[in-house]
Structure 1
Amino acid sequence: MNPSRIRILAVGKVRKGWLSEGVALYLKRLPGLDVVELRDGGMEREAAAIGAALLPQERLVVLSEEGQTFTSTAFASALEGSGSERLAFVIGGADGLDPALKARASWRLSLSPMTFPHDVARLLLLEQLYRALSIQQGGPYHRA
Structure 2
Amino acid sequence: MIKINIICIGKIKEKYFTDAIAEYAKRLTAFCKFNIIELSEERIKNNIPNRSQIDEVIFSEGKRIMQKISPSDYVVAMCIEGKPMSSEELSTLIDNASVSGKSTVDFIIGGSYGLDESVKKRADVRLSMSRMTFPHQMARMILSEQIYRAFEISSNGKYHK
When the two structures are superposed, what TM-score results if normalisation uses the length of structure 2?
0.83
Which of 94, 119, 128 matches 2:137?
A: 119
Give ranges in structure 2 of 5+ residues lacking alignment: 43-56
- The code of the aligned residue for 2:88 comes to T
Secondary structure of the corresponding residue to residue 18 of structure 1? helix
Partner of 2:6: 8
Partner of 1:24: 22
Partner of 2:117: 99
Aligned identity (percent) is 35
1:99 Cα deviation after fit: 2.1
- The code of the aligned residue for 2:115 comes to L
Which of 94, 101, 106 matches 1:88?
A: 106
For the aligned residues, what is the CA RMSD?
A: 1.2
Give ranges in structure 1 of 5+ residues lacking alignment: none
Secondary structure of the corresponding residue to residue 33 of structure 1? strand
Cα distance in 1 between the residues matched to 2:85 and 2:75 = 18
Partner of 1:136: 154
Deviates more, 1:32-41 or 1:80-89: 80-89
Secondary structure of the corresponding residue to residue 26 of structure 1? helix
The C-alpha deviation readout for 1:108-132, integer Å capped at 9, x for no partner, is 0111111211111111111000001
When the two structures are superposed, what TM-score results if normalisation uses the length of structure 1?
0.92
Whichever of the two has the greater Rg, that structure is: 2
Cα distance in 2 between the residues matched to 1:59 and 1:74 = 16
Cα distance in 2 between the residues matched to 1:90 and 1:81 = 18
1:77 Cα deviation after fit: 1.4
- The code of the aligned residue for 2:28 comes to L
Secondary structure of the corresponding residue to residue 8 of structure 1? strand
Which residues of 2 match residues 27-42 of structure 1 at below 5 A? 27-31=25-29, 32-41=33-42, 42=57
- Runs of 4+ in structure 1 over 3 Å off: none
